[in-house]
Structure 1
């Protein structure tokens, strides 16, 4: 199994929670994180080696990542495991799966690459690389069925772990927030590159909003100590460290639950915000050179709530459009327009129900079927 970042580690752990009891003595190894390790998964390399985002950022680490890829490929071709499971990280995993499947080793890819948003020709490579693909969203099932690729819709584990009706008062109390004053949660991302490019405009929007309403409380959850330290340095360097921002390590779900509106970097976190039924603004910035390439490839919408809804139900501000002023204006609307808030809550409740499955067991059953020759 290979998971290349935090979200993949969480998906892998969810899968292992149902798979490990059925295969108690099986060696499960490859690349994973601390959550997968709880189920006796052995990581042969630190997962952080693969947690690089952006075209030029990846190029800077290309030789090391390619070396890990080739070493793992050669080892697995010699070892011939019963099944290989690639969890997301499509650039790394699909080429690995292609080599393994050609050698007669069964392969499962868990999480569809964004074939609906960009590089739709990639689906041909997926057909050659996987024995089966496990997808998180209902609309993806039809895409793979049409392409003749064995597919199982497993739902999203977040839909099971996030309550349908979150306790806002309890979340605000746990974070020491005033229950009566508005709360905006800012989530610039968990990768260092995301923090680097998203944070200045995200924090600038907070400064502008405080001029409109000085009672607004801002919460900014950081994924870990390294991210917290880096983000604090960025804010200080931009001379914005005098703003009343509550920066916390972890507690992202409490921070989302407590919020009246959320500013969030595009990615899995946007789905979390939707499942917590919160109005949001989705934004994302990249290195300029990376964006000049990506803007010709990426097709909006890019935010998962908009993709699942089939229309733009929340704003997306990308790259040059994601200025502090534009983000502040969009957030102010999400914070203050009650009719919009009610519409979004209804859409997000329906979205939540559509994603509810027993993801762990359904995923484990699919992998066991592949292992037992049922493709």
Structure 2
């Protein structure tokens, strides 16, 4: 198995929670994180080596990442595992899966790349790479079956983990936040490249909210200590070190549950925020050269997963030059002070949550067992 970042680690751990009881003695290894390790997974390389985002950012690390891919491929071709499962990280995993599948090793990919959001030419490459695709949105299954690629809809794993009615009071108590305060959670991303381009603008946006209402509380969860140190250094360099923030190590779900509104980088975190039924403003910046390429690839108007699933702009998307501190602050301020909007979003996100609920651990484990020719234990 290969997962390339914290969200993939979490998704893979859900699969492993269903698979490990069925295969208690199996050796499961590759590249992954601490949540996968809880189920006896061994990571041959640190997962952080793959946690790079953006076309040109990846190029800067290309030699190291390609070296890891080649070494892992050689290892697996010699070992000939019962199956390989790539978890997200499509740029790394599809190249690996093509080589393994050509050598007769069954390959599975968990989480479809956004072929429905970006140009769909990728599906030809996927057909070469993947023996079976596990998808997390209902509409994806038909897309793959039309392309002749076996696919199973397993539900969105976090829809089972996140409660239908999150306990706001408990989350605030856990973080020491006043029950009646207005709270904003700021999630600038888990990758170092996301922090580089989002952190300063996001916190400048929060700073403008605090200038309007100093009683607002701002919580900022960090994916790890390395991210926390880098984030703090970026703020210090920008003269933002004295902005009153509550910086957290992990605890992103607690921060989201406690919040009245969330400023979040585009990505899977946007769907987590929706599952917590929270208003959000989606912001995202990247290297300008990467943005110029990516913006030409889009063929639908939405980038955020909640908007894509709703097929409308439920929440604002402020991307690249539009992601100014003023624009983000204005959008957050509107959400904090519009109770009708908040009630409407809560209902829409509740309906979305119900649509994504399935027993993903059991469904995904069953698909793996079928791929390797094993029957599930009673």
What range describes the TM-score normalised by the shorter chain of this pair? over 0.9
Hey, what's the Cα distance between the residues in 1 that align with 2:101 and 2:178? 56
Q: Within the alignment, does 1:312 sit opposite 2:310 as a pair?
A: no
SS class of match (1:296): helix
Partner of 1:169: 169
Hey, what's the Cα distance between the residues in 2 that align with 1:29 and 1:248? 30
SS class of match (1:25): coil
Hey, what's the Cα distance between the residues in 2 that align with 1:46 and 1:180? 42
Q: Deviations over 1:312-332 (max 9, x none)?
A: 111100000000001011111
Hey, what's the Cα distance between the residues in 1 that align with 2:27 and 2:174? 40
Q: Within the alignment, does 1:362 sit opposite 2:363 as a pair?
A: yes
Hey, what's the Cα distance between the residues in 2 that align with 1:71 and 1:191? 24
Partner of 2:106: 106
**Normalized against structure 1, the TM-score is what?**
0.97
Q: Within the alignment, does 1:137 sit opposite 2:149 as a pair?
A: no
Q: CA deviation at 1:66?
A: 0.8
Equivalent pairs counted in the alignment come to 374
Between 293-302 and 306-315, the greater mean CA deviation after superposition: 293-302
Q: CA deviation at 1:58?
A: 0.8
* 1:1-375 paired onto structure 2 within 5 Å: 1-299=1-299, 300-372=301-373
Q: CA deviation at 1:373?
A: 8.3
In structure 1, list runs of 5 or more residues that go unmatched: none
Hey, what's the Cα distance between the residues in 2 that align with 1:175 and 1:140? 38
Q: CA deviation at 1:119?
A: 2.7
Q: Deviations over 1:120-147 (max 9, x none)?
A: 1001111121111000111111211221
Hey, what's the Cα distance between the residues in 1 that align with 2:374 and 2:224? 41
Q: Deviations over 1:188-213 (max 9, x none)?
A: 01111111100111111112112222
Question: Which portions of structure 1, spanning 4 or more consecutive aligned residues, are displaced by more than 2 angstroms?
Answer: none
Hey, what's the Cα distance between the residues in 2 that align with 1:2 and 1:127? 19
Between 320-329 and 223-232, the greater mean CA deviation after superposition: 223-232
Q: Deviations over 1:136-174 (max 9, x none)?
A: 111111211221210000011111111111111111111
Q: CA deviation at 1:28?
A: 1.1
Hey, what's the Cα distance between the residues in 1 that align with 2:250 and 2:92? 28
SS class of match (2:70): helix
Hey, what's the Cα distance between the residues in 2 that align with 1:238 and 1:114? 34
Q: Deviations over 1:56-100 (max 9, x none)?
A: 111111111111111221222222211111111001111111111
Hey, what's the Cα distance between the residues in 2 that align with 1:12 and 1:186? 25
Between 69-78 and 304-313, the greater mean CA deviation after superposition: 69-78
Report the RMSD for the aligned CA atoms in angstroms.
1.3
Hey, what's the Cα distance between the residues in 1 that align with 2:315 and 2:170? 26
Between 97-106 and 154-163, the greater mean CA deviation after superposition: 97-106
Hey, what's the Cα distance between the residues in 2 that align with 1:362 and 1:262? 31
